Amino acid sequence: MEEHLSSTPAVSVQELVHHYGERAALNGVSFDVRPAEMFGLLGPNGSGKTTLFRILSTLMVPTGGKAVVLGHDAAKEPSALRRHIGVVFQAQSVDVKLTAEENLWHQGHLYGLRGAALKARIHEMLGHIGLADRAKDKVETFSGGMQRRLDVAKGLMHRPSVLLLDEPTTGLDPAARRDLWQYLNSLRQEEAVTVIVTTHLMEEAERCDRLAIMNQGELVALGTPLELKHEIGGDVITLETTNPETLAERIRSRFVVEAQPLGNQVRLEREQGHRFITDLVEAFPGEIQAISVSKPTLEDVFIHRTGHRFWTEESETKG
Amino acid sequence: MATPAAALSSPSPDSALLAAFTLWWREVVRFYRQRSRVVGVIASPLLFWVVIGSGFGSSFRSGDAPGQQHYLDYFYPGALIMIVLFTSIFTMMSVIEDRKEGFLLSVLVAPVPRSAIVLGKVLGGTTLSTIQGAIFLAFAPLLGIHFSAASLLLSLLTIFLVSFALTALGFAIAWPMDSSQAFHAIINLFLIPLWLLSGSLFPLNGASGWVRMLMQINPLTYGVEALRNLLYPASPQTFSLASSLATLLLFTLFMFGLAFVMANRRGSKPAA
């Protein structure tokens, strides 16, 4: 049975399309998630990842295509599926007027757990998330990071096979973020679950086994963070200049390399970047105000695939 | 994997009741953890009664027999219904709050039938407003009303039915809303008329044609009427107790059905 399970994907998204009225939020997205994988959905706001999340968590029926989770079609068999998935929403779902223990007690009841088995599970989960000594305290006395951990524990109470998390670190400071990811990793090992997490943060995406990068309702890249970064040949060189359009054009014709104007910068990808910058600076004296060479990041992958920055001005003002 | 999944996927009535119980429990615990709400529920009937009682004094006095003559006596069942009405509807503001936080979403993705969600939440609100109604009922002896055990139980049943029906109505109104301001606007639009035309303020028999018709189709009229029958058995009755209670029961079932239909909508629009 184990072998059979590992060969079939835990989650299979097939040609998923979704429209809000006229606006298309998902434009035919397909990918598979393997069992016990930490799978990231990376994309800026409005890329469609939250829509995808809502469809996977059975809250919304897609306009077209289908999402199959553990062999159940999320649109057609929501009640069968709900038993096997744990969901952690971006908005906090713990009740701050209840204690940590009461929150998990309530959650367990919703999934049919009760009695001694429920008590044991509450005790176990509170231990996992490091809140055993705060079991009887009201959640309103907890820090944001602690509340978030309790949210995750809620999602795992019924031992789901798949855990879905929507931007789980929203509103947490960097230390609490790191903490939460450590807990996610240890929980994944202890509970042996497939984890799908949406994020707009590159450093979080780096921690996933595999990533789907989304942009404007479409899948732009799929692979491990390393694979994705390797597809960029060598290093990334960024030049600051007053006239990026013309400089990019002149670099293209002179060095036969793809140069991309982005804002007040020109960006290009090249092996042996540190050697190449001397050539560049000598070729265009006085036109380059600053120059940098770096190893490719996931943001570079995004720019490489979409031709624009991850955070465009528009998406930043939208928040 | 197929067998246990299939066994689990049809939720037993037992687990639906457990879910309803836990939602009810949360509603009640949340209530008594917020001291100002507790004070409000206990103090408001008290305050209401003291102010109204002293305000009316001996105005509108018209006779000596209990039940009909003193306007304050007449007004008592209506005042009780009003208190139940407001508490019932406003407890369901929690639906909007739960939706704003992620709490409601986490309930919606649980393998819980929507009927259990409606039942749990509505019974939670019903419990609170029934308790408030019962507190108000405890003042009845001050008016010289003494009832038998049977009529006390029937009065509590009436309060329970009215509470349940109105809480379910509050649930159905609150469910699709995303702001408590919108909720207030709707409530004011039709709750006040619902109460005014329930026989709480003036009797149905004396009303003019169209008002009288509205009063007859207002389900709340039957709650007020049932209470009046139980509190003042000697006074003339517009409807028999049995027909009032039957109407009330139908109203309650209808409201629960309405709340259920609202909660059962699952579509292509965002649920959050």
A290 touching B (Cβ < 8 Å) = no
- Residues A249-260 pLDDT 10s: 888 888 888 888
Chain B: give the shortest CA distance to residue A222, in Å: 26
Q: What are the structural domains of chain A?
A: 2-224 (3.40.50.300), 233-295 (3.30.70.1150)
**Rounded Cα distance, A266 and A118, in Å:** 58
Interface probe with A: pick from B3, B36, B105, B264, most Cβ of A within 10 Å: B105
CA distance B91 to chain A (A): 16
- Please check whether residue B11 touches A, CB under 8 A: yes
Which pLDDT score, from 0 to 100, does residue A40 have?
94
- Residue A192 clears pLDDT 90, i.e. is over it: no
> Does the beta-carbon distance from A97 to B33 stay under 8 Å?
yes
In tens, the pLDDT along A139-158 reads 999 999 999 999 999 999 99
Chain A residue nearest residue B271, CA to CA: A59
- Tokens 């001050």 found at: B142
Collect all residues of chain B within an 8 Å Cβ-Cβ radius of residue A10: none
Residue A5 has pLDDT above 50, yes or no: no
Tell me if B41 is assigned to some domain: yes
Domain annotation covers residue B223: yes
Q: Kindly list the residues from chain B whose CB atom is less than 8 angstroms away from the CB atom of residue A59.
A: 105, 108-109, 266, 270-272
Cβ distance B107 to A79 less than 8 Å, yes or no, reads: no
- Give the pairing of strands A218-223 and A210-215: antiparallel
pLDDT tens for the 272 residues of chain B, in order:
333 333 343 456 788 999 999 999 999 999 989 888 888 877 887 787 778 767 766 665 555 554 445 677 788 888 899 889 988 998 999 999 998 888 999 999 999 999 999 999 999 999 999 999 998 898 888 777 888 888 899 999 999 999 999 999 999 999 998 888 889 888 888 788 888 898 888 888 777 888 888 888 899 999 999 998 898 887 777 788 888 999 999 999 999 999 999 988 765 454 44
Location of structure tokens 């406003």:
B90
B269 inside domain: no
The reported pLDDT for the residue numbered A315 is 43
pLDDT band at residue A7, thresholds of 50, 70 and 90?
Answer: low
Residue from the list A58, A77, A92 with its beta carbon closest to the beta carbon of B109 = A58
pLDDT range class, residue A317, cuts 50, 70, 90: very low
Alpha-carbon distance A309 to A202, whole Å?
Answer: 13
**Domains contained in chain B, number:** 1
Whether the per-residue pLDDT at A275 is higher than 50: the answer is: yes
A1 touches chain B (CB under 8 A): yes
Residue B51 lies in a domain: yes
User: Cβ A109–B102 below 8 Å, yes or no?
Assistant: no
pLDDT over 60 (residue A278): yes
Burial of A126 (C-beta count, 10 Å sphere; 0-12/13-18/19+): buried
**Which domain, by its residues, includes B228?**
14-263
Q: What is the pLDDT of residues A23-43, one digit of tens each?
A: 888 999 999 999 989 999 998
Instruction: Collapse the DSSP code of B110 into the 3-class scheme (helix H, G, I; strand E, B; otherwise coil) and give the result.
Output: coil
- Check CB contact under 8 Å for B268 and A61: yes
**pLDDT for the residue B267:** 54
ipTM (interface predicted TM): 0.83
What are the tens digits of pLDDT across the range A79-99?
889 999 999 998 899 999 999
**A235-241 vs A288-294, strand pairing mode:** antiparallel
Cβ of residue A97 closer than 8 Å to a chain B Cβ: yes
| Chain B residue with the nearest C-alpha to that of A54 | B270
Residue B38 covered by a domain: yes
CA distance B160 to A107: 28
Could you tell me which of A296, A298, A253, A291 has the C-alpha nearest to residue A275?
A291
Q: Mutation test of the interface with chain B: which of A63, A88, A106, choosing the one with the most B Cβ atoms within 10 A?
A: A106
A165, closest residue in chain B (CA to CA): B106
A73 reaches B (C-beta below 8 A)? no
B268 at interface of A, judged by CB pairs closer than 8 A: yes
Binding-face residues of B in 82-101 toward A, CB within 8 A: 100-101
pTM value?
0.83
- Residue B61 has a pLDDT of 54
Residue A1 has pLDDT above 60, yes or no: no
**Per-chain mean pLDDT for chain A:** 87
Q: If you average pLDDT over residues A150-167, what whole number do you get?
A: 93
> Nearest chain A Cα to B5, which residue?
A80
Residue B261: C-alpha distances to residues B4, B179, B226 (Å): 30, 21, 28
User: In the prediction, which pLDDT does B188 show?
Assistant: 84
Confidence bin at A311 (pLDDT 50/70/90): low
- What's the distance, CA A80 to chain centroid? 26
Model confidence at A318, pLDDT cuts 50, 70, 90, reads: very low
